[in-house]
C-alpha cells in the first residue's frame, strides 16, 4: 500500500481519523512536557485561529481538511498543557521562595508513610500582621505521624514555600503538577483551626474508609 493510499484509508475511516486526532492531542502535550517549554498564549491562540482559517478554506479538500484537524488537535494538546499551570496572580506558587502564613484545608486523602504523612492543602488565604489576602492553589506539606489530620481539616500553616524540583532522574515537579501542586511547604508549623472543608460526600467516604480499615486492623492485625 502506497503512502497516498494509506492516507485515503485513514481519511475515509471515522474511527481511524479519531485515533489520529487523539494522537495529535497527545503529541502536543508530550512535546511540551518533554522539552519543558512555555509558549506565550498570544502565539498559541494566533496559531489556533490560523488553523481554523485554513480548515475553512480547505474544507472541501479531504486531505487538507484532515491535516488541518490534526494540526488543531496538536494545538489543543499544547493549550491543555499550558492551562495546567497556574495563571492567576493570586496563586500561592507566585510566592515561592518566601516564608508565608497560610490558611487552607486538607484537600486530598493523606498519604501515610513509615516516616510521616504527606498532605495536599488547598490554600484559601494568606495571613499577615495587618490583614488577610485571598489566595488559591495547593501546597504539599510533609508532617510527622502525629498529630494526624484528615481530609477537610482546616489548617493554619507557617512555612517556607519552595518550588518543586526534579530529584535525580525522577521528575518530582511534574509528579506534583499532576495534582495541581506547584509549591512545597517546607518546615511547616501546623495548627488545626477547624473541620468541614472540602466536599462533604468525599469526606464521608474517607471517614467510612478509615472506620473499616480500623476494624480490619483490629480483627486481623499483623503477626
Kindly report, residue by residue over 83-123, the tens digit of the pLDDT.
777 666 678 888 888 888 899 999 888 898 888 899 999 99
Kindly report, residue by residue over 9-61, the tens digit of the pLDDT.
767 777 788 888 888 888 888 887 777 666 776 777 788 888 888 888 878 78
The whole-number pLDDT of residue 209 equals: 85
- CATH for 92-217 is 2.40.50
pTM over 0.75: no
Is it the case that residue 129 has pLDDT exceeding 70?
no
What's 160-187 look like in SS3?
A: EEECCCCECCECHHHHHHCCCEEEEEEE
The whole-number pLDDT of residue 221 equals: 61
Taking the CB of residue 181, how many other CB atoms lie within 10 A of it? 24
The whole-number pLDDT of residue 43 equals: 76
Is it the case that residue 140 has pLDDT exceeding 70?
yes
Amino acid at each position: 500500500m502506497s503512502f497516498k493510499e494509506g492516507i485515503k484509508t485513514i481519511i475515509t475511516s471515522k474511527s481511524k481519523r479519531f485515533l489520529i486526532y487523539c494522537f495529535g492531542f497527545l503529541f502536543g502535550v508530550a512535546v511540551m512536557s518533554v522539552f519543558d517549554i512555555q509558549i506565550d498564549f498570544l502565539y498559541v491562540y494566533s496559531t489556533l485561529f490560523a488553523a481554523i482559517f485554513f480548515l475553512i478554506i480547505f474544507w472541501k479538500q479531504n486531505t487538507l481538511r484532515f491535516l488541518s484537524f490534526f494540526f488543531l488537535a496538536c494545538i489543543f494538546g499544547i493549550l491543555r498543557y499550558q492551562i495546567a499551570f497556574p495563571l492567576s496572580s493570586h496563586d500561592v506558587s507566585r510566592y515561592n521562595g518566601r516564608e508565608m502564613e497560610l490558611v487552607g484545608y486538607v484537600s486530598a486523602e493523606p498519604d501515610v508513610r513509615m516516616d510521616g504523612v504527606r498532605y495536599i492543602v488547598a490554600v484559601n488565604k494568606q495571613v499577615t500582621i495587618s490583614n488577610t489576602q485571598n489566595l488559591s492553589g495547593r501546597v504539599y506539606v510533609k508532617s510527622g505521624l502525629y498529630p494526624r489530620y484528615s481530609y477537610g481539616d482546616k489548617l493554619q500553616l507557617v512555612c517556607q514555600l519552595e518550588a518543586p524540583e526534579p530529584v535525580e532522574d525522577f521528575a518530582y515537579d511534574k509528579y506534583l503538577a499532576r495534582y495541581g501542586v506547584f509549591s512545597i511547604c517546607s518546615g511547616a508549623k501546623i495548627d488545626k483551626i477547624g473541620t468541614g472543608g472540602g466536599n462533604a460526600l468525599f469526606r464521608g467516604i474517607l471517614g467510612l474508609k478509615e472506620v473499616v480499615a480500623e476494624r480490619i486492623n483490629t480483627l486481623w492485625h499483623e503477626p
